Structure 1
Amino acid sequence: MKTMTEPSLEEVVDVCMLAGKIMLQNGAETYRVEDTMMRIAASYNYLEPHSYVTPTGIIFTVDQMEAPRFIRITERSTDLEKVAKVNSVSRKISSGELTIDEAYEQLLQIEATKHAYSIWWQVAAAAIASGCFLIMFKGEWRDFFPALLTGGIGFIFFIYLSRMVDIKFFAEFISSFVIGFIAVIFVKSGIGHELDKIIIGSVMPLVPGLLITNAVRDLMAGHLLSGLSKGAEAFLTAFAIGSGVAVIISFY
């Protein structure tokens, strides 16, 4: 039940910063993060908030504050369910359904929530997607199982290397190298037939599709710095994937 107690400026800023942090860490576009933070502040009658968001940090202030607040983003992943839940909290705040304490508590719960699907469900989805991508790229059905197995194993390497090694793009490079290696083994043994189609289908779950989409949307929204930085990250990720495959192909 909403009380009549007006929240303090510090409490409102805490909610805005936490909401922006969760969204940015989980794949939201820059302009969406800024818009959500400003709407939350406006819901508590702070009508002139200012936010500046980049892929690695958030700066937020309102006119009544003596100094802006800053938070650095060091880890980013993709969990659009969390983004949707933060948007839902923001809408409830705007409609007056939540107090400031309730909103902050719900945001903390959203932040603490792990992935909706287990690792093995993710691997299974990546494996099936790899086989389906092979068919979509006009591969033969007899290569469906090799692509399915290759993509699944490659995605397992990607998940565990991402957790073990902090070096950016290393997981993508090694995973694509493993995919290329397994695909070559399948073709050499006669189980697989079209090496290029098996590799293309298997690396598709690693391709940074969300990064590319967000980069374009941020550029179209006028966030040039964020758009260019996300585009550069997507390019380097694609380069790492291509390099891993190229190393194997050069020996094959």
Structure 2
Amino acid sequence: MAASLVLAESAGPGITLLTLNHAEKRNALSIELVQALLAALTAVEKDPAQRVLVLTGAGPVFCAGLDLAEAADPARAHQSAELIGQVLRRLSESRLVTIAVVRGAAVAGGAGLMSACDFAFAEETARIGYPETRRGLVAALVMTFLRRQLRERDARRILLTGELFSAHHAEVIGLVNEALRGEQLMPAALHIAAEVMQGGPEAVGRTKQLLAQLWPASLPADLERAMATHLETRQSAEIQEGLAAFREKRPPKWVPGK
């Protein structure tokens, strides 16, 4: 079952297209789906002929974030968090150049997948956001990537308000490269892939490596700090209330000071 959750196909010489394939669940990041994505990524990385990875989602939504049923289960919180941290880091640090093609929506962890990629192209009607605080969560893991990409004021607004915003706004603040019509997305991604292929494989790989190393703090160090916060909030009473309110389609009843 897990293998079918991510489809792999060639998108041209040296280019692999990976598709999250659980449309009925809006490609939510269940443990099984993330494991399948990690396995698919490993398989592509082992092939030296492959140099670019395009990531997209089946159905109308790129990725809706955490599987909420698993998020409400404290027994699965640690495994889920570890796997999501792994896949974000792998997409960012992979020797492959990674390109996200986003249709419909990229929310919470789904927006995290997008932000971990080297390039992102979003359908102009797509909605993007990090609504974790509205569920009693902290967008800790994805925050490690946002702070590398956005001005602090923009990062604070989208993280503290939890509001969803348009692909065009995401383009303005630098979270996506371009907001495009649906039929333009894949051609734009493949154009960038072709441009990347003009460079030497070792030079491109070393460029990615150096970009990661030039930040004041390393990605692993940031993710370790973020993981501690993520796990703490995944086990809080607040997340249980936030998820219950989401399921019951009602405003959450927050208790200040707890």
The interval holding the TM-score normalised by the smaller chain is: under 0.3
**Superposition TM-score, scaled by structure 1 size:** 0.21
The structure carrying a bigger strand percent of its residues is: 2
The structure carrying a bigger helix percent of its residues is: 1
**Superposition TM-score, scaled by structure 2 size:** 0.21
